[in-house]
């Protein structure tokens, strides 16, 4: 029994004391009695009156509940404290759910610490953009910028997908990539034991197939021989270099002399992709070698690099002008160069898909299949043996009798 703060009060509050391994925790029994009626040794109210019996019955119930909670925690096989017994008795959470922000910030800090090793700066920016979109959704849907992990369910994921397509105004494939970031966060939380159920277990999204433009052999030749202004020529040449090597824009402008190796008289590009650090090894084709020679002493070539450096945004803007001057009815971006390499330069000329994938720096053949397109020229070439078989054969048409 604890003495009341108001010394004039007749009744004092009865407290229970839990002790586990020498550590104690007090809890209020929500019952009071007069100090003179309290049996300190027995820990009960004296007498046999109705009020005394009612209070003692309640104290017996709390005593039994304390031992029951202790048994439950002991059966769980984990160490526990007096505070955890008290929380269990009072219906509180033993371990409050982690917040979504805690896991996301953990992953952001993890990526930041491994930039240049396991992750690129672009990956960090994608996670940051995904987190920004998620907080906007939480503000709109829940009027908060954070949520408990145990509040995540299938409806939350579906509502988030709907928001990305209608409120955030992104296309289906972009929405898939943003949601993948959230799925990674959820998987981390489950791996750490912070989340027990997977809100994505019934979630399905199908990517929309994108047919990105590429240059045919004839168009590639026109691009290489047409005269452009000085600013457009530099972008044209960078684009051509990627068409002949399969390198992305970022990998093209970072290319250094140390990335070129010579073996048995043949020059190779040997580097690692910025995007995923995958190894890239590509034989240097004659047109690509000529481009390197042309820019060997170019004033806009950064120190130690092999080609001029122009921002990706400006390069894509200039490619629109180049497309217009060529009279092409295509939407060319710098990434189309990789598709041109995969389709026109290699696959059409009989290079196996597995080899193309290795030169593009892909881990999976599925990634390469998104780039490779079977062109009409390849179909025509492959069908020539079949055409010869049927050429000159007599064909008798059997029709229904009149």
Residue ranges of alpha helices (H) inside 192-335 are: 217-225, 230-245, 249-253, 286-294, 312-326
In this prediction, residue 376 carries a pLDDT of: 62
pLDDT at 59: 94
**Separation between Cα atoms, residue 136 and residue 169, nearest integer Å:** 13
**Which DSSP string corresponds to 164-232?**
HHHTS---HHHHHHHHHHHHHHHHHHHHTTS-SS-TTTT----PPP-------HHHHHHHHHS---HHH
Give the H/E segment covering residue 44: strand 44-45
User: In this predicted structure, what is the pLDDT of residue 255?
Assistant: 94
In tens, the pLDDT along 82-103 reads: 888 888 888 777 677 899 999 9
pLDDT at position 211 is 75
pLDDT tens for the chain, 402 residues long, are: 887 777 778 899 999 999 999 899 999 999 999 989 999 999 999 999 999 999 999 999 999 999 998 998 888 887 888 888 888 888 777 677 899 999 999 999 999 999 878 888 888 999 999 999 999 999 999 999 999 999 999 999 999 999 999 999 999 999 999 999 999 999 999 999 899 899 999 999 898 877 778 899 999 999 999 999 988 999 999 999 999 999 999 999 999 999 999 998 899 999 988 877 788 999 999 999 999 999 998 888 888 899 998 888 999 999 999 999 999 999 999 999 999 999 899 988 888 888 888 898 888 888 777 766 656 666 777 788 887 777 766 656 565 654
248-282 confidence digits (pLDDT tens): 999 999 999 999 999 988 999 999 888 777 889 99
User: What does the alpha-carbon distance between residue 333 and residue 246 come to, in Å, rounded to a whole number?
Assistant: 14
Do 108 and 124 form a contact (C-beta atoms < 8 A)? Answer: yes
Extended strands (E) in 251-367: 260-263, 266-272, 279-283
**273 CB neighbour count, 10 Å cutoff:** 17
The confidence score (pLDDT) of residue 94 equals 62
Q: What is the pLDDT of residue 136?
A: 96
Per-residue pLDDT, 375: 61
Q: What's the helix, strand, coil split of the chain in %, to 5? A: 50, 10, 35
Tens of pLDDT along 177-220? 999 999 999 999 999 989 989 999 999 989 887 777 889 999 99
CA distances 266 to 19, 256, 262, 280, Å, are: 79, 17, 5, 16
Residue 29 to residue 31: CA distance in whole angstroms: 5
């Amino acid at each position: 029994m604890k003495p009341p703060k108001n010394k004039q009060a007749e009744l004092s509050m009865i407290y229970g004391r839990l002790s586990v391994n020498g550590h104690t925790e007090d809890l209020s029994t929500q019952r009071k009695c007069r100090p003179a009626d309290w049996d300190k040794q027995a820990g009960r109210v004296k007498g046999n009156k109705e009020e005394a019996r009612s209070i003692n019955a309640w104290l017996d119930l709390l005593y039994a509940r304390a031992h029951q909670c202790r048994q439950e925690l002991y059966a769980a096989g984990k160490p526990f404290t007096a505070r955890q017994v008290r929380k269990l008795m009072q219906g509180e959470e033993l371990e409050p759910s982690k917040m979504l922000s805690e896991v996301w910030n953990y992953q952001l800090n993890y990526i930041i610490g491994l930039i240049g090793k396991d992750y690129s700066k672009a990956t960090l920016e994608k996670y940051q953009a995904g987190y920004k979109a998620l907080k906007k959704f939480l503000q709109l849907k829940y009027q908060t910028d954070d949520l408990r992990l145990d509040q995540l369910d299938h409806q939350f994921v579906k509502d988030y997908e709907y928001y990305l397509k209608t409120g955030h105004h992104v296309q289906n494939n972009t929405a898939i990539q943003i949601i993948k970031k959230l799925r990674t966060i959820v998987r981390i939380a489950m791996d750490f034991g912070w989340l027990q159920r997977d809100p994505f277990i019934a979630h399905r999204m199908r990517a929309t197939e994108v047919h990105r433009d590429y240059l045919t052999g004839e168009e590639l030749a026109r691009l290489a021989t047409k005269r452009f202004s000085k600013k457009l020529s530099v972008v044209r040449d960078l684009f051509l270099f990627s068409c002949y090597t399969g390198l992305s824009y970022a990998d093209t402008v970072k290319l250094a002399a140390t990335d070129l190796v010579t073996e048995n008289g043949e020059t190779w590009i040997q580097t690692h992709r910025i995007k995923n650090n995958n190894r890239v090894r590509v034989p240097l084709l004659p047109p690509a070698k000529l481009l390197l020679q042309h820019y060997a002493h170019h004033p806009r070539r950064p120190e130690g690099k092999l080609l001029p450096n122009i921002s990706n945004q400006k390069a894509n803007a200039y490619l629109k002008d180049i497309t217009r001057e060529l009279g092409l009815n295509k939407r060319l971006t710098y990434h189309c160069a990789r598709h041109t390499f995969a389709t026109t330069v290699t696959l059409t000329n009989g290079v196996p898909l597995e080899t193309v994938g290795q030169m593009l720096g892909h881990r999976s053949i599925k990634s390469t299949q998104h780039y490779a397109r079977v062109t009409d020229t390849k179909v025509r070439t492959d069908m020539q043996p079949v055409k010869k078989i049927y050429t000159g054969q007599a064909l008798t048409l059997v029709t229904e009798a009149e």
